[in-house]
Amino acid sequence: MSARDHAAYANHCATLGVRQVRTVDELNAVYRPLILRWHPDRYIGTAGHAVALERAKALNAAYGYLSAAITSEKDSNVALPMARPSGQRRVSEHGFPDASVLEIFVKPSSIISVGYNSATADLFVKYHGHRTYRYIGVPPLAFEALLLASSASAFVRDRIERQYTYEAL
């Protein structure tokens, strides 16, 4: 790994408040509480909204970079600095059709990422293969429960798909 890559890795780890991540599970364990804390929907109408939006963007950038680095390390056998991660899928580089929705990456499953628009109560779910669905009228507490679920795909299957109208995007 080049010095530039090492510096980028260290900076993204610092954004998440850690020195290193060895596995995707470790990455998810530090990312999820932070993105829940800094999600911009929690700060709508407050002076902290702009700060939360920038912080959430930085957290997502760190997650995307580190997740891709873990995958790349697994695929190429080039070790990350200070780490020997277990690897997983590549992270999508594309957000959701609704530009106001922040893309949040979830634990390894058939789902890549989720997003929520609190103004419209729309939940966006992006599956592997970049199939994206919009679930209509999902309450904020259901979205938070999804982010805390041990399996995002099981949660969506059991508690979202059967209760809310959805459309493929």
Per-residue confidence band for 45, with pLDDT thresholds at 50, 70 and 90: confident
Q: What class has domain 1-90? A: mainly alpha
At 145 the pLDDT is: 87
Task: Please write the tens of the pLDDT for every residue from 90-121.
Answer: 333 457 877 778 888 886 678 888 998 888 99
Residues of the chain with CATH 1.10.287: 1-90
Share of the chain above pLDDT 70, in %: 83
- Predicted confidence (pLDDT) at residue 54 exceeds the cutoff of 70: yes
Q: What is the pLDDT of residues 120-157, one digit of tens each?
A: 999 999 988 778 999 999 998 899 888 888 888 999 99
15-41: burial string, b at 16+ Cβ within 10 Å, e else: bbebeebeebebbbebbbebbeebbbb
Phi first, then psi: give them for residue 124, nearest 5 degrees. -110, 135
Predicted pLDDT at 122: 93
How far is residue 169's CA from residue 163's CA, in Å, rounded to a whole number?
Answer: 19
